[in-house]
Amino acid sequence: MNKTIYDAVKKIRQENIVSFHMPGHKYGRLPRKIEYQEFFSDIYEFDTTEIYGTDNLHNPKSIIKQSQINSRKVLFPESDNYDLIYLVNGSTCGIESSIFCSVKKGDKIILNRGCHQSVYNSCLVSDLKPIFVGENISKEGVFIGVEEREYIEAIENNKDASVVIITRPTYYGMVFDVENIIAKAHEYGMRVIVDEAHGAHFNLHDIFPKSSVYFGADFVIQSLHKTLPCFTQASVLLVNRDRINRSEMGKLSSSLNIFESSSPSYLLMSSIEICVEQTEKFGKKLMEDLLNNIYIFKRKVKNYKIFETSDPTKIFINTIDKGINGHDFAKLLRYKYNIQVEMSNYSGILMLCSICNVKKDFDLLYDAMNDIVEKNMFTLNSDDNYEYDGFFGYDEKVNYGGVEDKSVSDDGIKSLKKSKKIDLDFPSVIPDRRLSPRDAFDATKVSIDIEKSVGKVCGEFIIPYPPGVCIIAPGEIISEEIIDFIVKAREINMEINGMLSSDFSKIQIVDCD
């Protein structure tokens, strides 16, 4: 068998890529320094299941139960009113389970438009009625968050809603005040679920915003693997026992049985323990070092604009002002300078830093960015471009086990110098809704040319990735703004999840005839 996945990952590992992307362990950089060589070298021998001597994540009574208690005491030592539950299917299963145990079929749910896809999935599963609040987006496409008054107004106008969903911080590291939002929701008996997937590191320094745990949210979900040294999918769910009674805890447990694997990975749970112990021993010192390295890096950068984020470990760099769209800049960093960013949009690149990044990472990034400018590799709206030097060869970079990655072919790389000035504004108007997400999902659908779909009822999710935010969902009316965005996104080869049409030329609509 041709092991295409294994060979590709092995090749990436051998290239020693500079990681400014998740997972937060940056290819195992931190744990390998300490006392866990046995775990990493004999990983198959640590892979077990529910047998004598272990425990059951879905009904923990011994080692898992105690481990969860220990982790809560380390991560949230002052929050004795919260239970911490390990998640092995990422924050996705924690979000879906928290919603499922808090609603009945057909309930209203208040949510921000920039929420994770798992929230939309929950609307489908429980046939919920979504009440959206607007999302503030900068001209660079950075998701800033939601104004407090937007949530308060939605709560006051929908006092019969069951749940309020808050995404904080955003993917880009932006936060907003939530204390009054949580209090207002509780005033009307609503559950507050906070997607804090990108905030697992907040307790490591006073410079960071406070976790929503400290404001009394009912459920808070964190992805340890995103910003801390933990295996991908390893996450935690924090449950406020002052708000969730014993019966409701039973419903939550049943919900986790539905949305989470019945074969929990002991490798993932072990990585959580290692992560928490490493964080306890070295986290604050390493975070101090990281923040200092970021501060020095930002002060040195003169040729690029850096967006000011609430979380300094998220660095968004504007590249389009230098004549390079972010998608092309990200490819250039990876295939010429061996630096991998977390995400790119048309305006720039997003770097996700963790306590496992070191000074050399930032030095290499700074040198690469300067080199691109000094060599004038790209010039916006000009034919005076950097001469292509053939630094991207199939054999060298993009051929894994005989499988060609066409997204970074020679022709594709050569075209990078032709950055086009496109006003690619993320749709800001929430589409009108004709059907519930569930009714639209279940309805008969047909595919039509996207340019002919204005005014039709959308039959599929359309989710540009990154950042993985839904611009239109099943049951919503397709607008000119939506079509314009998709067409322009198609022109620059942006990835779009959810669309049946592989070339994004057609869109699924509900057959209303």
Residue-level pLDDT at 106: 95
Query: Residue 388: which residues within 8 A CB-CB, separation 6 or more?
Result: 413, 414, 417
What single-letter amino acid sits at 458? Answer: C
| pTM for this prediction | 0.90
Structural domains of the chain sorted by starting position, each given as residue range(s) with its CATH number in brackets:
40-277 (3.40.640.10), 285-416 (3.90.1150.150), 437-510 (3.90.100.10)
Residue-level pLDDT at 494: 78
pLDDT along the chain (513 residues), means of 10: 94 94 91 74 92 96 98 97 98 98 97 92 94 89 93 98 98 97 98 98 97 98 97 98 94 97 96 94 95 98 95 96 88 95 92 97 97 76 44 38 48 51 75 92 93 94 78 92 89 82 90 76
Residue-level pLDDT at 140: 87
Residue-level pLDDT at 147: 94
In 3D space, the residue among 119, 148, 154, 118 whose CA is nearest the CA of residue 133 turns out to be 154
Q: How far apart are CA 479 and CA 484, in angstroms?
A: 9
Q: How far apart are CA 319 and CA 365, in angstroms?
A: 14
Q: How far apart are CA 114 and CA 172, in angstroms?
A: 11
